[in-house]
Structure 1
Amino acid sequence: MTPHPERATHQSLVFSSILYPGKAAESNSLLLAGSIREFGGALSTQPIWYFAPRLDHELSLKARARLEKLNVDIIPFEIELHALKFPFAGHVEAAALAESKAIGSMDLLVWLAPNTLVLREPSDFFLVKDVILGYRPVHHKLLGLDYEEPLDVFWKTVYDHFDIGKEQIFPMKPHIEEKPINPYFNAGSLTIRPERRLFTRWCDSFFKVYQDPTLQGLYKRDERYAIFIHQAVLTGVILSSIKIEEMVELPSSYNYPIHLYAEDSTDSKPSSLEDCITLRHETFHNDPTWKEKIPFSEMLKEWIAQKLLP
């Protein structure tokens, strides 16, 4: 299903993400919130909720003060430390909490990975009537399967848990590749109707499925299985609970991966990264020479530099 030009922009919408302590993570969260406020257009004044796991080390006072100036609500939550150590478990838990908070108060919930930048008004996050999910595919295939390729052990384990049949499979192209794959949704850029409780099912299923003995064996063989099981479970939840006509693929200008720009082989590759609506990055600012390496305008580089924690 493709985006519809007429959206009910009067719908209430909230942005949400997870917030971790530490200079790099806090800088990412400041960039995300700051970019929504600066470049989000008509959505720049929408609420922002950051869910912060309770840890021994706390958010810095400087980051907290800056986020409060950006009108970000910081919401602490409890999660078992052993679970938090598993890749992206905190993200899954936080997304479910955001959904619970949004039910009854918000028409739409936008979940963004904290390493996201908003460069233009993301109006496609407003969904038309009867659509309950806006998504982007994964950036590239990696652990995914070519369309209609026989299931491997990893995907068979996931599909069996959700009782997914062939009739629920449709072709999807990764962000920077042309060859179709089986459905594989990116977990870092989603807009949903919270009352459908998609993220609650994702969370409940994740904490059951990720401990499957078969998957535990795969994690030991290749750590990528552990890193991406949260997206595989998300895919299982979506395919088992949402009809294809109830979901919409957001334009390729959303969730564009800065770090894969040189590898992009698609016709939709942007001529400039600043033509994109939202970007994903791998904390580029950890590199002290990032200004020389990242293909941004000097104006945007200066804006970013001002938002980073010293």
Structure 2
Amino acid sequence: MASAEGAEKRERLIFASIVLPNRSSETNALLLGESIRVFAGSLSQAPIWFFSPESGEQLSAAVEDRLRAFDVSVIPFEIDPEALRFPLAGHVHAAALAERMASDRADLLAWLDANTVVVHEPRDLLLQDDVSLGFRPVHHTLVGSRYDEPIDDFWSLIYRYCGVPEGRVFPMTTHVDGAVIRPYFNAGLLVVRPERRLLRAWRDAFLRVYREPPLRELYRRDERYKVFVHQAVLSGVILSTLETDEIQELPPRYNYPLHLHEEDVTGRRPTGLEELATFRHEGFYEDPKWRKKMPAKEPLKRWIAARLSR
């Protein structure tokens, strides 16, 4: 496997993600990696690190070869198999490892879920010097806590476990359903300054609390709490670690959820994907009619189709 070791030049920004040994994750990683190289403009030659858990299964050799062809480093990491089975735990571990590795190599680390596609130069990822986190809110409310309602048991636990100061809680508007909620950050796009150790604090807090009996009881009541506890803990850690003036909400052109395009009620719904910097998806390519349904012009559709046909 390719390695990120030995890098000497200090980078403005490093892209990082996780790739799992299955068809959908590998397909996503290929689309993300090549879209950065083709569409990211001044950031198109930034290092790309994809972390892969050593879980007994291996990435496809053909996929590794294709990733290497556009200079993506595939980095294996160890994780307890039981932890890996918990929803999104692997992402938390990989993000923390990426941050540690980037700490003396880059000013900024952009952690992206692999189901991201870059469409235009994501220049807003280059944060101002006084900003330690660039983020997008969650797509829609789901287990989020509405700002004008009493805090529920789940978020009360998260705030207590993470030590969130009351004065740090502020209103945040979700990406597509336009609800005003307590801060709930999307874990699929995070731009951090590695020296602030935010992603490592996320991992440490997650490992400390995700098996706590009160949370496990909530998982039994509603499976969504189990799926999204990693993101809730992230939100708690951000609020307890950073001052409000250290965080910056990225424009809605970033992290746009293609799979929720028809549900977007905000008045900012893009006519086409070309209006965006990056978008997220849930395996649109599994639908045989994706080209007909995708809100994009033919050149972008052709580019995507050509990658999917390889």
Residue 170 of structure 1 and its aligned partner are, at CA, apart by 0.5
Distance 2:56 2:309 in 1: 21
SS for the counterpart of 2:91 is helix
Amino acid at match of 2:27: S
Residue 11 of structure 1 and its aligned partner are, at CA, apart by 6.2
Residue 295 of structure 1 and its aligned partner are, at CA, apart by 2.0
Distance 1:149 1:239 in 2: 19
Q: How does 1:126-141 map to 2 (within 5 A)?
A: 126-141=126-141
Distance 1:286 1:22 in 2: 14
Distance 2:24 2:305 in 1: 13
Deviations 1:63-96 (A, max 9, x none): 0111001100010000011100111000000000
Residue 202 (structure 1) aligned with residue 217 (structure 2): no
- TM-score normalized by the length of structure 1: 0.94
SS for the counterpart of 1:111 is strand
Residue 92 (structure 1) aligned with residue 65 (structure 2): no
Distance 2:234 2:302 in 1: 37
Deviations 1:20-54 (A, max 9, x none): 11222111000000100011011100000000001
Distance 1:55 1:287 in 2: 29
Contact 1:27-1:307 within 8 A present in 2 as well? no
Distance 1:232 1:263 in 2: 23
Contact 1:108-1:126 within 8 A present in 2 as well? yes
Distance 1:218 1:147 in 2: 21
Amino acid at match of 1:220: R
Deviations 1:120-177 (A, max 9, x none): 0000000101110000000011111111421111101101112223311101000013
Where does residue 6 of structure 2 map in the other structure?
A: none
- TM-score normalized by the length of structure 2: 0.94
Distance 1:196 1:248 in 2: 15
Distance 1:273 1:38 in 2: 16
Distance 1:74 1:94 in 2: 12
Residue 179 of structure 1 and its aligned partner are, at CA, apart by 3.0
SS for the counterpart of 2:251 is coil
SS for the counterpart of 2:15 is strand
Residue 192 of structure 1 and its aligned partner are, at CA, apart by 0.5
SS for the counterpart of 2:32 is helix
Amino acid at match of 1:211: R
Where does residue 6 of structure 1 map in the other structure?
A: none
Residue 220 of structure 1 and its aligned partner are, at CA, apart by 1.4
Residues matched between the structures, number? 301
Contact 1:137-1:173 within 8 A present in 2 as well? yes
Q: Which of the pair has the greater relative contact order for Cα pairs under 8 Å at 6+ separation?
A: 1
Distance 1:24 1:303 in 2: 18
Q: Which consecutive residues of structure 2, in runs of 5 or more, have no partner in the other structure? A: 1-9
Contact 1:116-1:278 within 8 A present in 2 as well? yes
Residue 186 (structure 1) aligned with residue 186 (structure 2): yes
Where does residue 250 of structure 2 map in the other structure?
A: 250
Single out whichever of 32-41 and 156-165 deviates more from structure 2.
Answer: 156-165
Where does residue 74 of structure 1 map in the other structure?
A: 74
Contact 2:271-2:295 within 8 A present in 1 as well? no
Where does residue 112 of structure 2 map in the other structure?
A: 112
Amino acid at match of 2:169: I
SS for the counterpart of 2:180 is coil
Residue 170 (structure 1) aligned with residue 170 (structure 2): yes
Where does residue 291 of structure 2 map in the other structure?
A: 291
Distance 1:50 1:297 in 2: 29
Q: How does 1:10-29 map to 2 (within 5 A)?
A: 12-29=12-29
Where does residue 220 of structure 2 map in the other structure?
A: 220
Distance 2:111 2:246 in 1: 18
Identity of aligned residues (%): 51
Where does residue 5 of structure 1 map in the other structure?
A: none
SS for the counterpart of 1:79 is coil
Where does residue 55 of structure 1 map in the other structure?
A: 55
Amino acid at match of 1:37: R
SS for the counterpart of 1:76 is strand
Where does residue 4 of structure 2 map in the other structure?
A: none
Contact 1:15-1:109 within 8 A present in 2 as well? yes
Distance 1:196 1:291 in 2: 42
Q: How does 1:27-38 map to 2 (within 5 A)?
A: 27-38=27-38
Distance 1:65 1:57 in 2: 17
> Which has a greater percent of strand?
2
What is the alpha-carbon root mean square deviation over aligned residues? 1.3
SS for the counterpart of 1:136 is strand
Distance 1:22 1:11 in 2: 31
Distance 1:269 1:80 in 2: 41
Distance 2:64 2:144 in 1: 38
Residue 102 of structure 1 and its aligned partner are, at CA, apart by 0.3
